[in-house]
């Protein structure tokens, strides 16, 4: 028979796993923000294209919005870990997977943008 103690241990373990993943996402998004800073400088000094500059700003906005959303989610997880009693079920898993999908989508878009950006850079030659 599964005891309430084991259910609570499982709930806590799952929440800690989710918190660890959110922490990893934060680290990646912070690095992404730093990379956007570098790409912005390159765009201003070399490429000088309004469309590229606008795309960088849009990517930065999406990144900031996702980071804010993940901070709020992390607070919710911490509250649930500390004070909650709700079992970790399919609904909670689905919420976490939706957050993961948002993160993965932004990373995919950023990688597409970086490839386009580097393709633009190939046109420049130093003679």
For 98-120, what is each residue's pLDDT tens digit? 999 999 999 999 999 999 999 99
Q: How many domains does the chain have?
A: 1
Q: What is the pLDDT of residues 38-77, one digit of tens each?
A: 999 999 999 999 999 999 999 999 999 999 999 999 999 9
Look at residue 127 and tell me if it is in a domain. no
pTM score, two decimals?
Answer: 0.90
Q: Is the pLDDT of residue 127 over 90?
A: no
Look at residue 57 and tell me if it is in a domain. yes
| Cβ contacts of 43 within 8 Å, gap of 6 or more | 49, 52, 53, 56, 117
Pairwise CA distance, residues 25 & 66, whole Å = 10
The tokens of 62 are what? 């999406």
Domain containing 29: what range? 4-122
Look at residue 107 and tell me if it is in a domain. yes
């Amino acid at each position: 028979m599964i005891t309430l103690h084991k259910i609570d241990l499982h709930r806590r373990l799952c929440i800690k796993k989710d918190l660890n993943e959110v922490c990893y996402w934060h680290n990646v998004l912070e690095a992404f923000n730093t990379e956007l800073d570098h790409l912005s400088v390159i765009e201003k000094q070399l490429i000088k294209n309004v469309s590229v500059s606008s795309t960088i700003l849009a990517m930065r906005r999406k990144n900031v919005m996702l980071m804010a959303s993940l901070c709020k989610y992390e607070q919710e997880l911490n509250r649930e870990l500390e004070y909650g009693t709700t079992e970790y079920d399919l609904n909670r898993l689905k919420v976490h997977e939706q957050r993961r999908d948002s993160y993965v989508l932004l990373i995919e878009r950023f990688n597409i943008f970086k490839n386009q950006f580097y393709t633009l850079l190939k046109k420049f030659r130093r003679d």
